[in-house]
């Protein structure tokens, strides 16, 4: 793998993580300065990712970028905002595993 391309992907992902934190700070874009800064950073992140795909396959670059971004966003969200990750369906009776494994009556459907 080309080291320069990897650095482009890494920088792009780190900038994207910063953009995600700014989206969180924007409070649903109610604070426009944070929202505008996030949009600018996303634009820069994609420009850097575009440089990386000149020498890397798109699938490889995007997979690395996505993995770094998801993990980084989760960790930064936890550290900066106290966000917690929860399993899908926590707090409700529905979950994908339960839907596939259990009879219809366990899926919240009533027998008529």
Determine the pLDDT at residue 76. 95
Residue 111 included in any domain = no
Residue 71 included in any domain = yes
Determine the pLDDT at residue 112. 45
Residue 29 included in any domain = yes
Q: Indicate the DSSP class of residue 88.
A: T
pTM: 0.75
* Residue given tokens 């989206």 in the structure block: 23
Determine the pLDDT at residue 110. 47
Residue 45 included in any domain = yes
Determine the pLDDT at residue 85. 78
State which residues of the chain have pLDDT below 50: 99-100, 105-107, 110-112
Determine the pLDDT at residue 96. 53
Residue 50 included in any domain = yes
Specify the DSSP element, H or E, that contains 58.
helix 58-81
Residue 51 included in any domain = yes
* Residue given tokens 């980084």 in the structure block: 72
Q: How far apart are CA 24 and CA 4, in angstroms?
A: 30
Determine the pLDDT at residue 94. 53
Q: How many domains does the chain have?
A: 1
Domain ranges, residue 17: 3-81
Determine the pLDDT at residue 106. 47
Residue 74 included in any domain = yes
Q: Which residues contact 70 (CB under 8 A, 6 or more apart)?
A: none
Residue 49 included in any domain = yes
Determine the pLDDT at residue 45. 98
Tokens of 103: 């009879």
């Amino acid at each position: 793998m080309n080291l320069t391309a990897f650095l482009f992907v890494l920088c792009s992902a780190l900038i994207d993580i910063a953009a995600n934190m700014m989206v969180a700070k924007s409070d649903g874009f109610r604070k426009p300065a944070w929202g505008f800064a996030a949009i600018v950073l996303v634009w820069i992140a994609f420009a850097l990712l575009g440089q990386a795909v000149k020498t890397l396959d798109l699938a490889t670059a995007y997979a690395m970028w996505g993995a770094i971004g998801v993990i980084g966003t989760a960790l930064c969200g936890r550290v900066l905002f106290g966000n917690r990750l929860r399993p899908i369906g926590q707090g409700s009776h529905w979950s994908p595993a339960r839907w596939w494994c259990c009879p219809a009556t366990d899926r919240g459907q009533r027998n008529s």
